[in-house]
Amino acid sequence: MGMTKVKFPISDFQFSKGKRAHLIGIKGVAMTALAQILQARGVLITGSDGPEHFFTDAILKKLGIKYAQKFSPENIPADVDVVISSAAYLHAGQSLDNVEVSAALKRALPTFSYPQIMSALTQEYRTIGIAGSHGKSTTTAMAGWMLEKCKTDPTVLVGSRVNKWGMNSRIGKSDLFVVEADEYREAFLRYALSGAVITSIDYDHPDYFKTKATYNRAYKRLVNNLVKQSSKEPPAFLVACGDDVKVRQLAVYAKQKNVRVLTYGFAKSNDLVLQDGGVSRGQQLFHASFNGEQFSGSIPFVGKQYVLNSGATVAVAAMLGLDINRAVRSLADFPGIARRFELVYHGPTQTKNGPTRKKFGEAIIIDDYAHHPTAINITLEGIRAMYPTKRIVAVFQPHMFSRTQVLLKEFANSFTSADEVGIMEIYPSAREVSGPIDGRVLASEVSKQHPKVTYLPTIASGKKYLEKNSRKNTVIVLMGAGNVCDIVD
């Protein structure tokens, strides 16, 4: 069956009050956020996913959305108006081995992928897409937080839960929509963008992008979409990290094509020049220079990457004509997002009778989504900067067999800031359940570059490793896109 064409505007199609939408793969972070946006429009939501526990379970429960914990054709309501599938199960109008998607297509139900629906939604707003290999979830949340504090009342869709919102989306009443724009399967090319941020370009998703050239080309096509928008109102803009060579090249190209461009970064050649102000009382200090003015601010997360994310956020404020000082100040109480430098355990709990005994003693345990070599290195560098005198133990759960195999050498060199490393088994995904490599191979490769590496083939072995290494003056960092945090439970 061919791809169904989405009609516009959405209010004339499936998503007006009282309509019914069934979401397949509803526990995915983007799908959960979409469910909230549609529910706010009065759409009645049902859904389905696998039985594995995910943090979005709590969000869906809070929203009162009922969903099946197993894929089955019987999950699709008889009176459904539209079926929306995660891109993991539907691509180019074809089911990717999912019985529910296959049943919906067989019944000739209006069936769309998440990127198709986002194509429609983004046309209804002045949409700013936050793209890049690293930092896009945090930057999306930061930009949304800043715009909220600047009283612009945006709608925001983030690839993780924003801690003070308790959700991974925010429903606003203005025409501003800030959305995390994912490059996988070139999904971000479907979005109708008035502006974009590109934080970095670093080869990833080798299961889809077979070469670095095809990966880089996707970002060039994203910029070309902005070029098409540059002659319209409002004219499109690009916020680009000028410290990244590939992003800087795209910024030059975009400027030649009359796109409004603002570069940011530590290099003095950028339009918005950042400076690391060091760490004070757990706060990362930073300075920014823009249009001859100096600004100083802080964020409650440590590391140069957070300074860069802040720079991208301030640059968005500048492009929208907002008060820069107010934008900078808004970041001081940015609450962070789930699984990004997230503190999950901090020693024994203090009570009036003294400290209670806890499983992990006086250790500090941090959970982070880092699953690419560059992200691992950045995360560990940030933790080393925050805890310079402590012993750092990294526990990494690889995600995707293809990524582990293609980036094996890069992974091996990404743990230099850790004192000890535990490598868990590869976490399979819906789109890749097996492969020619395993965690033991990665552990062996890392051990060639690091003196203390342990292979952890099971969650149980991970728990034992965690307990063994939980002691005073130790920071344990859990990293990966799977269920690595289960070893704390």
Judge residue 163's burial from the number of C-beta atoms within 10 Å of its C-beta, 0-12 exposed, 13-18 middle, 19 or more buried: middle
CATH number at residue 431: 3.90.190.20
Q: What is the pLDDT of residues 260-296, one digit of tens each?
A: 999 999 999 999 999 999 988 888 999 999 999 999 9
Residue 174 covered by a domain = yes
Q: What is the pLDDT of residues 71-99, one digit of tens each?
A: 999 999 999 999 999 988 997 777 778 99
What pLDDT, on the 0 to 100 scale, is given for residue 323? 97
Same domain membership, residue 258 and residue 168: yes
Interval 39-51 mean pLDDT = 95
* Closest by Cα among 425, 445, 443, 421 to 435: 425
- Angle of helix 212-229 versus helix 245-256 axis, rounded to 10: 30
The band of 302, judged by pLDDT with boundaries at 50, 70 and 90, is: confident
Same domain membership, residue 484 and residue 450: yes
Residue 9 covered by a domain = no
Output phi, psi for 440, to 5 deg: -60, -40
Same domain membership, residue 291 and residue 323: yes
Same domain membership, residue 149 and residue 230: yes
Residue 2 covered by a domain = no
Q: Percent of the chain, pLDDT > 90?
A: 75
Same domain membership, residue 365 and residue 294: no
| Tokens describing residue 70 | 């197993």
Domain range for 169 is: 123-333
Residue 158 covered by a domain = yes
What distance in Å separates the CA atoms of residue 193 and residue 137, rounded to the nearest whole number? 17
Interval 245-252 mean pLDDT = 98
Q: What is the pLDDT of residues 185-212, one digit of tens each?
A: 899 999 999 999 999 999 999 989 999 9
Boundary residue ending a domain (113, 134, 150): 113
Identify residue 232 by its one-letter amino acid code: K
What distance in Å separates the CA atoms of residue 362 and residue 345, rounded to the nearest whole number? 9
Identify residue 370 by its one-letter amino acid code: A
Boundary residue ending a domain (310, 333, 356): 333
Same domain membership, residue 422 and residue 481: yes
CATH number at residue 139: 3.40.1190.10
Same domain membership, residue 191 and residue 108: no
Same domain membership, residue 271 and residue 404: no
Same domain membership, residue 105 and residue 65: yes
Same domain membership, residue 136 and residue 59: no
Residue 412 covered by a domain = yes
Interval 329-342 mean pLDDT = 91
The band of 348, judged by pLDDT with boundaries at 50, 70 and 90, is: low
Residue 205 covered by a domain = yes
Boundary residue ending a domain (52, 84, 113): 113
What pLDDT, on the 0 to 100 scale, is given for residue 3? 38
Same domain membership, residue 90 and residue 67: yes
The band of 14, judged by pLDDT with boundaries at 50, 70 and 90, is: low
Output phi, psi for 113, to 5 deg: -85, 160
Residue 169 covered by a domain = yes
Q: What is the pLDDT of residues 447-476, one digit of tens each?
A: 999 999 999 999 999 999 999 999 889 999
Q: Check pLDDT > 60 for residue 6.
A: no
Same domain membership, residue 407 and residue 324: no
| Tokens describing residue 391 | 């012993």
Residue 4 covered by a domain = no
Q: What is the pLDDT of residues 479-489, one digit of tens each?
A: 998 889 888 87
* Span of 2-16, 35-49, 56-70, 130-144 with lowest mean pLDDT: 2-16
Structurally, the chain folds into a number of domains equal to 3
What is the Cα gyration radius of the chain?
Answer: 22
pTM of the predicted model as reported, rounded to 2 decimal places: 0.87
Q: Check pLDDT > 60 for residue 121.
A: yes
* Closest by Cα among 484, 468, 454 to 370: 484
CATH number at residue 75: 3.40.50.720
Contacts of 84 (CB under 8 A, 6+ apart): 21, 22, 23, 24, 31, 34, 111, 112, 113, 114, 117
* Span of 15-29, 237-251, 265-279, 283-297 with lowest mean pLDDT: 15-29
